[in-house]
Amino acid sequence: MRDIQKVLELWGTWAASDSCGIDYSPIAAGFKGLLPQTSKTRPMCSDGDGLTIEGCMTRLKQKRPYDYDLLVFHYVYKVSKRKIAKNRKKSEKQIRIEMMMAEGFIDGCLSMLNINLEMEV
């Protein structure tokens, strides 16, 4: 069983790094001033794993752009679920449910690909 939150944490760090080649703006739309300052480095996934997860994220963006934004805000930009809820004028419980659904989509996509990620070996 895959720990999808850990997988997305490692992917988020990879996506936020300058070396990934994927363009994520350093300021998330609507979240200027809410992003924490990160001075220490976080562990990240390999380029192969990052690109695989990025492919699943692309599918999520096509099907459910709102859920895609939730994952990007939380895992790439490190915006807390509480701040996302406040910004979207929803309860934190509702944001957590929506995040679980989005994480489930990515987990299902990875399962359908039947690929073992390097981080899981």
Sign of CA pseudo-dihedral 104, 60, 42, 34: negative
CA distance from start to end of the chain: 12
Give domain status of residue 11, yes or no: yes
pLDDT at position 42: 74
Q: Which domain holds residue 69?
A: 4-23+46-115
**pTM of the model as a whole:** 0.81
The verdict on residue 35 lying in a domain is: no
Total tally of structural domains belonging to the chain: 1
Which residue type is seen at 35?
L
The per-residue pLDDT for range 11-21, each reduced to its tens digit, is 999 998 865 55
Residue 46 near residue 40 (C-beta atoms within 8 A): no
The answer to whether residue 36 sits within a structural domain is: no
101 domain-assigned: yes
List pLDDT tens digits, range 18-63.
655 555 555 555 554 555 545 457 789 999 999 999 999 999 999 9
